[in-house]
Amino acid sequence: MARLLRKAGPPLNDSGLNEPGLNEPDPGVRLLGATDIRRLAEAGGVRPTKQRGQNFVIDANTVRRIVRVSGVGPGDVVVEIGPGLGSLTLALADVAQRVVAVEVDEALAAMLPQTLAERAPGRDVEVVLADAMRMESLPGPAPTALVANLPYNISVPVLLHVMHRFESIVLGLVMVQAEVAHRLAAGPGSRIYGVPSVKAAWYGTVEAAGTVSRRVFWPEPNVDSELVSWRRRETPLGDEDLRRRTFTVVDAAFAQRRKTLRAALSSLMGSGDAAESVLRAAGIDPRTRGEQLSVHDFVAVATAYAEAAPTVDGTREGRAH
């Protein structure tokens, strides 16, 4: 369950009261550098863990670039997943109307409001203690954008969950492991095109948006990162039932990606003949492999599958993400 810690405000003194003369918002936001990050981590007893994929950005120019490339502006309500010590949060607070920072680590979530109060006073930022994979709602106005340095180990599930759950989010920019970025942005026919590519494409257009050196992180990861931008489709490809059916077909097609779709979908649809019938009804050659189909092709197959339901056995409830 999400838990709101508090909104960023003026710095507090030892008694917990606002310092005299510091109640007026400071128009400037002070970003964090490498020394600041290490100092905050030491003061809070924070040690980045591989289990949660924690690698903190220590370069102010990098977070400025992320915000600039994201395209967010003064009218946006931005969701940030995994704010950590606040590097990107501060840069977002300097530009966006409002930032909601979702952090699962209790120690980091407890530290962040004070950092924001000191370095971005008067800015509308809320820190929420929650598991991004399970969050179903957020405080305040509906979010319009997602900008985040996503933990490497859960980047795709988190991104798909946010795309699915928060329909008000129309654009986003995430930093992920380079290999993951390539898969998300891959198109049909590519050897790395797969389940993440198709499922992300259901929600909108996905594009590679630049590389990020491993040297701007602490601790330094073993791989480089890349930025991935996305924009939601103005017209959805279908309703929730069709999404689930489409994702079911996608999962089955890529579970045995070397096989033809006739063979790969035979278990799902009851037999090879049934799969062939559905594929032909969708205008797809049964000898085609899943990596050759666009998201629109998969939607056509899922639609034909639903229409053939009375004569085709199989599960038609797909995984949500």
User: Using one digit for the tens of pLDDT, what is the confidence trace for 229-262?
Assistant: 999 999 999 999 999 999 999 999 999 989 999 9
Element (H, E) at 220: none
d(CA 186, CA 21): 53
d(CA 230, CA 226): 13
Domains of the chain: 3-232 (3.40.50.150), 240-311 (1.10.8.100)
What is the DSSP code (8-state) at residue 31?
Answer: P
d(CA 174, CA 80): 9
Task: Give me the mean pLDDT over the 78-82 stretch.
Answer: 97
Task: Give me the mean pLDDT over the 82-96 stretch.
Answer: 97
User: Using one digit for the tens of pLDDT, what is the confidence trace for 98-139?
Assistant: 999 999 999 999 999 999 999 999 999 999 999 999 999 999
pLDDT at 24: 40
Question: Tokens representing 269?
Answer: 């649809």
- Residue 310 burial (C-beta neighbours within 10 Å; 0-12, 13-18, 19+): exposed
pLDDT at 54: 75
pLDDT at 48: 73
d(CA 111, CA 255): 43
Confidence of residue 4 (pLDDT cuts 50, 70, 90): low
Mean pLDDT of all residues belonging to the chain: 89
Confidence of residue 39 (pLDDT cuts 50, 70, 90): very high
pLDDT at 52: 60
Cβ–Cβ < 8 Å for 58, 35:
no
What is the DSSP code (8-state) at residue 290?
Answer: G
Using alpha carbons, select from 50, 138, 145, 48 the residue that is nearest to residue 87.
48
Q: Give residue 106's Cα distance to chain centre.
A: 20
- Where are any strands of DSSP class E within 104-156? 125-129, 145-149
Q: Does residue 9 surpass a pLDDT of 60?
A: no
Using alpha carbons, select from 52, 33, 37, 68 the residue that is nearest to residue 227.
68
User: Using one digit for the tens of pLDDT, what is the confidence trace for 261-274?
Assistant: 999 999 999 999 99
Using alpha carbons, select from 68, 12, 108, 66 the residue that is nearest to residue 212.
66
- Residue 134 burial (C-beta neighbours within 10 Å; 0-12, 13-18, 19+): exposed
Element (H, E) at 212: strand 204-212
